A and B are shown apart, each in its own frame.
Chain A
Amino acid sequence: MLQMDGVQKIYRTDLVQTYALRSLSLRVAEGEFVAVTGPSGSGKTTFLNIAGLLETFEAGTYRLDGEDVSKLSDHARSRLRNVKIGFIFQSFNLIPDLNVYDNVDVPLRYRGMAGSERKRRITEALERVGLASRHQHLPSQLSGGQQQRVAIARALAGSPRILLADEPTGNLDSLMAREVMNMLEEINAQGTTIVMVTHDPELARRVHRNIHVMDGQVSDLDQRLAA
């Protein structure tokens, strides 16, 4: 499903070059639920950004769903993101000016889907996260957990092949965190591949596999080989 070999990412500023990733290689198989752990600044978000085609990289190869995506245009990468990838962010990232319904609608609009189809998917996704009755609310009128559930609905509505989550529970209390985690497991059970960055050892234990990133590399040699 997801295959990276020797991916290297350097952030250049005027003064310094930061090696965010140095020769990162890993594989995630279809249907897996993988947790990415590691200390702050180790390159987890960078990895996720590259995996989600949000950023480009300097060296190495990256195949998503069998397709080499290293040389795709910005436009093609946008389309791929829209169709194949779902995102869940630590700070939810709902659009504050839009209500719940319209927030879930955003990626579907970009896919140019017909109105009736969008409506069906939005309702379905909101029902799945248990927020169908709140579709008229603005993000500011929801709790953190509810916001994150809307974000999950938004990620699910497009039926992505892979779900990328960057510390999805980082801004939530443990009760809500567990709730969100339950939801993710449910989604994974229905066949969606999930890669989740997390700090929470408890959550990390609940997934199929842990990948530990350290200093821009997968630290655990076994994990690398196993992949």
Chain B
Amino acid sequence: MLGYYLQLGFRNLRRSPVLTALIILTLAVGVAASMSTLTVLYMMSGDPIPQKSSRLLTLKLDNYPLDFNDTDEKLPGILTWTDVRNLREDAKGLRRTGLYGISGIVYPNKEGVKNFFADGVAVDADFFAMMDAPFIAGGAWTAAEDRSEARVAVIAAPLAEKLFGKESAIGRNLRMDSEEFRVVGVLHDWKPTPKFYRMDGNSSAGSDADDIFIPLSTALAAHRDVSGNTSCYSNADPGFEGLMRSECIWLRYWVELGSEAERAEYRDYLSAYVQRQKQLGRLPRPDKSALYNVREWLQEIEVVDDDTRLQTWLAFGFLSVCLVNTIGLLLAKFTARTAEIGVRRALGATRSQIFLQYLSEAAALGLVGSIIGVAGAFGMLHLLAKQSPNLEQYARMDPTMLATTVLLSVLAAVIAGLLPTLRATQVVPALQLKSQ
């Protein structure tokens, strides 16, 4: 029976074509607008590493001078080299890595490819296992190579392709600035969205994929400049050595715990660490250290900015107007057929049959609207990505969102169709309608 209703529904789409087109268009536009912005929001607030996001922690320490005139500002999520070194040496947790952004000029040893500027990060060997970074060739460097400040590098697949073409990159040399690095691993096109491991509330760190990963120890030994925020609240001696000794903050630190349950233990360790540092005369202010897992961290740095939220609000306001409009138009479409309903009722259709028939027609409209709406959402996402490079990583529709979109628009049409359908079922059976 439902098949018959849907068939009727689709056939009726051709009746009053202008009205039908308007209904479909309204639905499609509403769905496209709301789904494209919702997709961006969903991707932004998504969990980039769901399998272990609760075991992956980063932290904040308060190392401001005692008399620092801070108001209620948030602590930055970056640390001094002193703290990162200490945390690494204490070796708590399953795996751990310090991290800071680097950049440099790459000299390709290849005809026709000009020197270029590349972004990367200095990390510890554990980083790749912690982040579940997928290798297509080779692997991470060893802890021994970390200790020996080896000139090794892991590079991203696009860079490998650019430098070495189809040949294997493993064992080849990569020249960055005046240093040569031996490539030990090539990462798959790896784009955690958002790029949580580097983000610190400064949006520019979140956009591009990192191309080059080198050992943190090697980067420090080579005095490789920091690409990213460096904040100093007390004076530092000149040069990189000075920076490393100073209370300037510029490194991130991540630790992976064996299980979520170990978090309390780690928390205790961190408090104890702060106390120890206080005894050494550091971290003079009250202990404000804080631990964040990946999800907490994304929230803390407000990945979802106000504009995105505004757009989401707007999209739903827009969708609601579209829905009200659809209700109105459906009401118009159905009311114009009062006579037909009367005749159908007189011919023995029950209320629920009329109800189902008209709701199916609304659903048919929703289905057509959703197909156009999905196409529209893809178009909008494409536009959004083009307009703002920061959005590019988020403006992608995944199967979940696609299914949601289709479901939403059919649901929207059915909800919109409910009132007009109920009204249709109120029509009294009649073979011939009295005038007026």
Contact with B along A83-112 (1 / 0, CB 8 A): 000000001010010000000000000000
Tally of contact residues, B, Cβ under 8 A: 2
Contact partners of A91 in chain B: CB under 8 A: 435
Query: B436 contacts the other chain (Cβ, under 8 Å)?
Result: yes
A96 to B435, CA, bound (A): 10
CB distance from A219 to the nearest CB of B (A): 31
| Complex: chain A residue closest to B436, CB-CB | A96
A91 to B433, CA, bound (A): 13
Contact with A along B406-436 (1 / 0, CB 8 A): 0000000000000000000000000000011
A93 to B436, CA, bound (A): 8
Contact partners of A93 in chain B: CB under 8 A: 435
A91 to B435, CA, bound (A): 8
Contact partners of B435 in chain A: CB under 8 A: 91, 93
Contact partners of A96 in chain B: CB under 8 A: 436
| Complex: chain A residue closest to B434, CB-CB | A91
A103 to B436, CA, bound (A): 14
CB distance from A150 to the nearest CB of B (A): 14
| Complex: chain B residue closest to A94, CB-CB | B436
CB distance from A166 to the nearest CB of B (A): 14
Contact partners of B436 in chain A: CB under 8 A: 96
A96 to B436, CA, bound (A): 7
| Complex: chain A residue closest to B435, CB-CB | A91
A66 to B160, CA, bound (A): 102
A91 to B436, CA, bound (A): 10
A119 to B436, CA, bound (A): 27
A93 to B434, CA, bound (A): 11
CB distance from B127 to the nearest CB of A (A): 75
CB distance from B301 to the nearest CB of A (A): 60
A96 to B434, CA, bound (A): 12
Contact with A along B268-280 (1 / 0, CB 8 A): 0000000000000
A96 to B433, CA, bound (A): 14
CB distance from B426 to the nearest CB of A (A): 15
A72 to B436, CA, bound (A): 31
Contact with B along A32-46 (1 / 0, CB 8 A): 000000000000000
CB distance from A192 to the nearest CB of B (A): 27
CB distance from A143 to the nearest CB of B (A): 14
Binding site for A on B (CB under 8 A): 435-436
Query: Considering the complex of A and B, which 3 residue pairs feature the smallest CB-CB distances, nearest first?
Result: A96-B436, A91-B435, A93-B435
* A-B contacts, 3 listed (Cβ < 8 Å): A91-B435, A93-B435, A96-B436
